[in-house]
Amino acid sequence: MSSKIKVGDRAPTFRLPDQGGNVVDLAERIERGPVVLYFYPKDFTTGCTMEAHEFREMYEEFQRRGADVIGVSSDDVDTHRRFADEHELPFTLLSDADDQAREMYGAWSALGTPDRVTYLIDQQGVVRMVFSSQMQPRKHAPEAMRALEEVLAERTVTSAKSS
């Protein structure tokens, strides 16, 4: 198992298919603005569905702040499509069938099972927040929003000082 990605690390990038079968390049998404990247164990499970609903409810807020939301699990494209359709998920779900991306981020539990972990990656590709909690799926979206607001406030202060 690879080491876990920490705050301040450069975010590993990858290309994976989304729920529509289109290949998504994480590096391209990061260039456009901050990315909330969340790894979760499995579509249609109780905790993962609760977590997806939280991101769905907060999606417009993330969008207004210029952030993209991307969920990643090892489920296949068809399962992701059904999960996104059934739960009206407006954001990207990526199929990491061979756990390549999960491995890059070290998003595994101590038992070696898929962990529930969320990262906020800024536009420079630096990880600004890591929130890992298997048992609190509803906290991931609010934690990511809090971190995003801190990063945006920091950027505002920096640009005010330079002008």
Catalytic residues: 48
**What strands lie across the sheet with 127-132, from one edge to the other?**
92-95, 68-73, 35-39, 117-121, 127-132
Q: Cβ distance 62 to 75 under 8 Å?
A: no
Burial per residue of 117-137, b for 16 or more beta-carbon CB atoms within 10 angstroms, e otherwise: bbbbbbeebebbbbbbbeeeb
